Structure 1
Amino acid sequence: MKVITATDHSIPKTPSVVTIGTFDGVHIGHQKIIKKLTKKAADKNLISVVLTFFPHPRMVLQQNSNIKLLNTIAERKEILAALGLNFIYVQEFTTDFANLTAREFVKTILVDQLKAKYVIIGYDHHFGKNRAANIDDLRAFGIEFDFEVEEISAQDVEDVAVSSTKIRNALKSGDIQTATAFLGYNYYINGTVVKGKGFGKKMEFPTANIQVDEVYKLIPKNGVYVVSSMYKGKVIYGMMNIGMNPTFEADKKTIEAHFFDFNQDLYGQDLNIIFLDRLRDEQKFESAEALMAQLIHDRTKAQQVIAALNA
């Protein structure tokens, strides 16, 4: 699979089957569309292309939007790549792009750039300036420019009953299990391990302080989670706190992971932190000793969750 952009000289010359969308999260509904796309491409001996956008259109069109994404663009590419696509076409979403008329979008991107012969779109898809065009317009353009159009039916959409918005809301409320079910994989964040204040180490629970780019990425609700990561090709398990460290009256939010039976220097390492379950809300304790007693209890519960997952 290859990632291409409008300025890329390696844009394929082969006719394609294209689907269009932001695909934030690449959840089970998105995966259903992409399976249909790759099958259609195989049946018609065409290449499969996902046309996606970055940044999220709402970030450009609604300047006061505080939307956070389920995936960074790098994560989205990684997840899409595993679904058997030939190409991902990443269109930078700008005000200039948003002002393209529907016809300009179809002619410039779908026809001239991607050589579309078959276009699959989600139910009630709108496109072009002010999202003025719909499925009927796209079919008319298909007649003009010689490509076929297939719309994912409302019934198919309802059968999946999932959306990126529902997943965001689940993560904001700390409902990891619902988010996992809707995504079809465990939600994860990526960050670099940086030096923290050493609170965990003093209590014999040393932590990796994860610095995450929060400009785009949605961070789940503050609290304590069961997590895993990969280190030198091996899965490591642990628990992670997201929050303000109220017991120590810290002055900023941190993301700190404690890995079980692990004693390696992680400073500077780039880690994916995978959310397996949620244990509890963040709490303020009367003393460091009280917090340590709770952490011991949390560790026991986390290990039980991990054992059940691996059973």
Structure 2
Amino acid sequence: MKLHNSSTTYIDKPSVITIGTFDGVHIGHQKIIKRLIATAKNKGLESVILTFFPHPRMVLQKDASIKLLNTITERQEILEQMGLDHLIVKTFTKDFANLSAHDYVKNILVDELHAKHIIIGYDHRFGKNRSANIEDLKSFGTQFEFEVEEISAEDIENVAVSSTKIRTALDNGDIATANSYLGYPYFLTGTITQGKGLGKQIGFPTANIYIEEDYKLIPKNGVYVVKSHSNQKTVYGMMNIGTNPTVNGTKQSIEVHFFDTDEDLYGKTVRVELLHRLRDEQKFASVALLQQQLKLDQENSLKFISLINE
């Protein structure tokens, strides 16, 4: 897959395009993307996804509260695995939002992306003030010689429902539901940083994960069974998302205790997949009681890992 940003957005071969945020690249999105790739192969075209970053709401509404299922880098990684030819990440700005529908279609879809076939939702809106709709796009198709294939209301509704259910599930700590709609384990990507060393003192050393992107959705506080990869080896562990109330913590942190590894991870970037939720975070009356609970958490984690690997 070739990645194109705003300064390198040009495709010199005829293409089939779909357009959207594709946050999460969940099972509803995957259905549309597979259709895109199949159409491209059947017609001898390049398969292209046009997406935007930052999210339009971040720019137009200054909405700092919006949380996304993927960072832009994570989204790229997932799409690459699907066999896409080109991913266009267009920088979304106010100037871009003010493009007329005609200029958007001609300058970007036709001149830059060489569109010959566009797969798009029945309710797609584009151009300044989102004034143009799919019927306008079909008219432009006649003018600029590309086909428009409509994604049904049912498929669009399934995409919207899936996204909503995934976010709600993660906010509630329901990893099983989120993962079922995603079609893969929800994951966090971050850099391992130095913590206070409290875990090590009680026999459960943890790797603190720093996530740079503040728009990434962090699931509900609690303890989770997780999986990661290091040196081409799968490693499991248990992760706490929370404030460490037993030791009077106040700031949210993400800490992973990996099983069966003594590798120095500081400074490394890791991807941690959430497999199962064990319990809520809670405040214990003493560190000794916390230690006792962590031993039980580890036992329950290992039982779960054993079951999924049978």
- TM-score norm. by structure 2 comes to 0.97
Alpha carbons 2:65, 2:215 under 8 Å: kept: no
- The alpha carbon displacement at 1:160 in A equals 6.2
Matched residue, 1:95: 94
Alpha carbons 1:16, 1:115 under 8 Å: kept: yes
What letter corresponds to residue 166 of structure 1 in structure 2? K
Matched residue, 1:185: 184
Matched residue, 1:41: 40
What letter corresponds to residue 2 of structure 2 in structure 1? K
What letter corresponds to residue 206 of structure 1 in structure 2? P
- The alpha carbon displacement at 1:252 in A equals 1.5
What letter corresponds to residue 4 of structure 2 in structure 1? I
Can you give the 5+ residue segments of structure 2 that lack an aligned partner in the other structure? none
- Residues 270-295 of structure 1, C-alpha deviations (whole Å, 9 max, x = no match): 11011001111110000001101111
Coordinate RMSD, CA, aligned: 1.4
- Residues 119-174 of structure 1, C-alpha deviations (whole Å, 9 max, x = no match): 00123111112212111111111111110001111133446674323212211111
Mark the CA change 1:208 to 1:300 in structure 2 (over 3 Å): closer, same or farther.
Answer: same
Between the aligned partners of 2:201 and 2:294, the Cα distance in structure 1 is 13
Please state whether the residue corresponding to 1:218 is helix, strand or coil: coil
Matched residue, 1:246: 245
Q: Sequence identity of aligned pairs in percent?
A: 60
Q: Tell which deviates more after alignment, 213-222 or 238-247.
A: 213-222
- The alpha carbon displacement at 1:207 in A equals 0.5
Q: What pairs with 1:4-23 in structure 2 (closer than 5 Å)?
A: 4-8=4-8, 11-23=10-22
What letter corresponds to residue 5 of structure 1 in structure 2? N
Mark the CA change 1:122 to 1:72 in structure 2 (over 3 Å): closer, same or farther.
Answer: same
Matched residue, 2:208: 209
- Residues 253-279 of structure 1, C-alpha deviations (whole Å, 9 max, x = no match): 111000112222211111101100111
Between the aligned partners of 2:199 and 2:293, the Cα distance in structure 1 is 13
Alpha carbons 2:36, 2:119 under 8 Å: kept: yes
Alpha carbons 1:210, 1:255 under 8 Å: kept: yes
- The answer to whether 1:221 aligns with 2:235 is no
Matched residue, 2:195: 196
What letter corresponds to residue 241 of structure 2 in structure 1? I
Between the aligned partners of 1:161 and 1:58, the Cα distance in structure 2 is 16
The count of corresponding residues between Structure 1 and Structure 2 is 310
Please state whether the residue corresponding to 1:64 is helix, strand or coil: coil
Between the aligned partners of 2:66 and 2:155, the Cα distance in structure 1 is 26
- The answer to whether 1:295 aligns with 2:294 is yes
Between the aligned partners of 1:64 and 1:44, the Cα distance in structure 2 is 40
What letter corresponds to residue 222 of structure 1 in structure 2? N
Between the aligned partners of 1:159 and 1:183, the Cα distance in structure 2 is 12
What letter corresponds to residue 286 of structure 1 in structure 2? A
Matched residue, 1:2: 2
Please state whether the residue corresponding to 1:163 is helix, strand or coil: helix
Mark the CA change 1:240 to 1:51 in structure 2 (over 3 Å): closer, same or farther.
Answer: same
Can you give the 5+ residue segments of structure 1 that lack an aligned partner in the other structure? none
Q: Tell which deviates more after alignment, 113-122 or 164-173.
A: 164-173
Q: What pairs with 1:1-311 in structure 2 (closer than 5 Å)?
A: 1-8=1-8, 11-158=10-157, 162-311=161-310
- TM-score norm. by structure 1 comes to 0.96
Mark the CA change 1:59 to 1:229 in structure 2 (over 3 Å): closer, same or farther.
Answer: same
What letter corresponds to residue 235 of structure 1 in structure 2? T
Alpha carbons 2:64, 2:215 under 8 Å: kept: no
Between the aligned partners of 1:23 and 1:158, the Cα distance in structure 2 is 14
Between the aligned partners of 1:221 and 1:214, the Cα distance in structure 2 is 17
What letter corresponds to residue 55 of structure 1 in structure 2? P
Alpha carbons 2:28, 2:158 under 8 Å: kept: no
- Residues 210-252 of structure 1, C-alpha deviations (whole Å, 9 max, x = no match): 1111422111111100001111110000100011000001232
Q: Tell which deviates more after alignment, 224-233 or 165-174.
A: 165-174
Alpha carbons 2:22, 2:29 under 8 Å: kept: yes
Between the aligned partners of 1:88 and 1:64, the Cα distance in structure 2 is 25
Alpha carbons 1:238, 1:302 under 8 Å: kept: yes
Please state whether the residue corresponding to 1:43 is helix, strand or coil: helix
What letter corresponds to residue 190 of structure 1 in structure 2? T
